[in-house]
Amino acid sequence: MASAALPALAAPTMRRRAPLASFLAPVALLVLWQLLCLSGAFPPQVLVPPSEVARTLWQLAETGELQRHVGESMTRLALGFAIGALAGLAFGAAIALSRLAEVVFGPFFFAVWQVPVIAFVPMLVIFFGIDEQFKVAIVILAAFFPVALAAFDGIRGVPRAWFEVARVYRTRLPDLIWRILVPATLPAVVTGLRVALTRAWVVLIAAELLAADSGIGQMMEMGRQMFRIDVVLAGVVVSGVIGFLLDRGAKAIERRASRWRAA
């Protein structure tokens, strides 16, 4: 009994230590960063200390420039991700449920899926310029493919016997969708949405670096052009924190979806 109780007692201790352990790597990185700056191994034009980056972030926040760039990037992400995810769900479900749609569109889809999204930037710039349509379009592309693939794999993973039983009982299409397809495919689709969200964020920052007039990526590019490495690193920190929070939020939704399916 005593040995059986040991794991139960150790579990809360491990859970309490886990958040502390997760801070060790960032703290160690900051310390190493500061030491490198103090050592003089890199000139100030190449690497500035984290205290200087924090001061720059504070100044950008005070002037409102940081909020403006973050707001522009998040608006593009939200709009493009919503359109891309919905289109991906519809397309993935269509080629999974229809053999004809899979034969017609499947080969082209799986071929284009292998192309890096950033490779579409020159073509999109020719079509849309560097206006908002370009940034939203690149996010749509980044979100579309992972969600479509997740929907396709999730639906194809549903046992065919379930559809046969539904056909025998003459289940209506809305009931077939909400009682069979949604619970069975939800974990795969939510995982695809999580992958698509983080992928879309990375691609958006890269697109803003290449061709944009606002956003986190454009702020970093302007810092590079003005030889303000502190502004560039401030953009790196902000984009990393936002990407981390987006992934953690999506991961929490993914866990809840898995528990809902199990229930």
Per residue in 58-102, pLDDT (tens digit) is: 999 998 889 999 999 999 999 999 999 999 999 998 888 888 888
* Residue 253 confidence (pLDDT): 79
Picking from 9-18, 109-118, 199-208, which range would have the lowest pLDDT averaged per residue?
9-18
Domain range for 225: 61-262
* Residue 71 confidence (pLDDT): 92
Q: Is the pLDDT of residue 139 over 80?
A: yes
Q: Is the pLDDT of residue 165 over 70?
A: no
- CA angle 209/200/89 to nearest 5° reads 155
Give the SS3 label for residue 115: coil
Distances (CA, A) of 93 to 85, 98, 177, 196, 238: 12, 8, 11, 17, 36
* Residue 254 confidence (pLDDT): 74
Tracing tokens 């979806």 back to the chain, one arrives at 257
212 falls within a domain = yes
* Residue 146 confidence (pLDDT): 93
CATH number of the CATH domain containing 151: 1.10.3720.10
Whole-number Å distance between alpha carbons of 219 and 61: 13
* Residue 116 confidence (pLDDT): 86
pLDDT average, residue stretch 107-124: 86
140 falls within a domain = yes
36 falls within a domain = no
For 27, the enclosing helix (H) or strand (E) is helix 24-39
**pLDDT tens, residue by residue, 177-210:** 677 777 777 788 888 899 999 999 999 998 888 8
Report how many domains make up the chain: 1
For 16, the enclosing helix (H) or strand (E) is helix 2-22
For residue 169, what pLDDT band results from cuts at 50, 70 and 90? low
pTM: 0.81
17 falls within a domain = no
205 falls within a domain = yes
* Residue 2 confidence (pLDDT): 47
4 falls within a domain = no
Q: Which long-range contacts (CB under 8 A, 24 or more apart) does 249-254 make?
A: 250/190, 250/193, 250/194, 250/197, 250/198, 251/194, 253/190, 253/194, 254/187, 254/190, 254/191, 254/194
**pLDDT tens, residue by residue, 224-263:** 888 888 888 899 999 999 999 998 888 887 777 666 555 5
* Residue 132 confidence (pLDDT): 83
* Residue 162 confidence (pLDDT): 64
Whole-number Å distance between alpha carbons of 77 and 66: 17
Which phi-psi region, left, alpha or beta, contains residue 116 (left: φ > 0; alpha: ψ -120 to 50)?
A: beta
* Residue 1 confidence (pLDDT): 46
188 falls within a domain = yes
9 falls within a domain = no
